[in-house]
């Protein structure tokens, strides 16, 4: 019994000298750990945004080549239609899943003419340049002084034959 008591006292004294050790170790490791976690999150956001915007513009380009127009009110066709350019922007906005706050940033051109989706057989280019603010300032400094990453996404298609009366 005396030996057990002595072991408790010795163990207790040994633990008293290490009370702050885990706090110091955590303080040294935590910044690196959080930098790693938030860095992974930032790069995941970058990859997701790039892939989503590419998909949105690809779908907008596929819509563009058909020469179609979206109805202003899908339930009431007498309300009229959007222009082809606005219809293409609407499709891109729909597939961008909320990543585009300003659909007018989507540029649609054919040849050297901007805001024109081209006629039958012409090439149409749908492009977008937008910025994404990174959440990790340390990593954001590698991409520019504001911590923004600039995306430039573009797709090119050749228009299918369609009725020229609908081209705008």
Distance between start and end Cα atoms, the chain:
97
pTM of the model: 0.78
Is 166 a residue whose pLDDT tops 50? no
Contact between 133 and 148 under an 8 Å Cβ cutoff? The reply is yes
Task: Dump pLDDT digits (tens) for 17-74.
Answer: 567 888 999 999 999 999 999 999 999 999 999 999 999 999 999 999 999 999 999 8
pLDDT, mean of residues 78-89: 93
State pLDDT tens for residues 89-137.
999 999 999 898 888 899 999 988 999 999 999 999 999 999 988 888 8
Q: In whole angstroms, what is the distance from residue 93 CA to residue 87 CA? A: 10
Burial label, 162 (beta-carbon count in 10 A; 0-12, 13-18, 19+): middle
Nearest to 156 by CA among 122, 114, 105, 129: 122
6 Cβ contact partners less than 8 Å away, ≥ 6 residues apart: none
- pLDDT at residue 135 in the model: 87
Looking at residue 9, its pLDDT comes to 60
Q: What is the DSSP letter of 78?
A: G
Q: Which helix (H) or strand (E) holds 166?
A: none
Domain boundaries, the chain: 21-162
**What does the pLDDT average to over 139-165?**
87
In angstroms, how far apart are the furthest CA atoms of the chain? 103
Per-residue pLDDT tens over the stretch 10-31:
655 655 656 788 899 999 999 9
What are the DSSP calls for 95-110, one per residue?
HTTT--S-GGGEEEEE
Evaluate whether 167 touches 84 at the Cβ level (below 8 Å): yes
């Amino acid at each position: 019994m005396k030996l057990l008591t002595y072991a408790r006292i010795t163990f207790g004294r040994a633990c008293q000298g290490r009370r702050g050790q885990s706090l110091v170790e955590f303080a040294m490791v935590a910044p690196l750990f959080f930098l790693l976690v938030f860095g992974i999150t930032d790069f995941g956001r970058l990859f997701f945004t790039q892939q989503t915007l590419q998909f949105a513009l690809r779908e907008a380009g596929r819509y563009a080549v058909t020469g179609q127009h979206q109805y202003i009110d899908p339930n009431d066709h007498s309300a009229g239609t959007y222009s082809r350019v606005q219809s293409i922007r609407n499709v891109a906005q729909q597939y961008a899943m909320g990543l585009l706050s300003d659909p007018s940033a989507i540029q649609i051109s054919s040849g050297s003419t901007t805001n024109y989706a081209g006629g039958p057989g012409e090439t149409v280019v749908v492009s977008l340049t937008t910025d994404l603010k990174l959440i990790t300032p340390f990593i954001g400094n590698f991409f520019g002084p504001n911590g923004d990453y600039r995306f430039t996404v573009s797709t090119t298609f050749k228009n299918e034959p369609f009725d020229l009366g609908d081209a705008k």
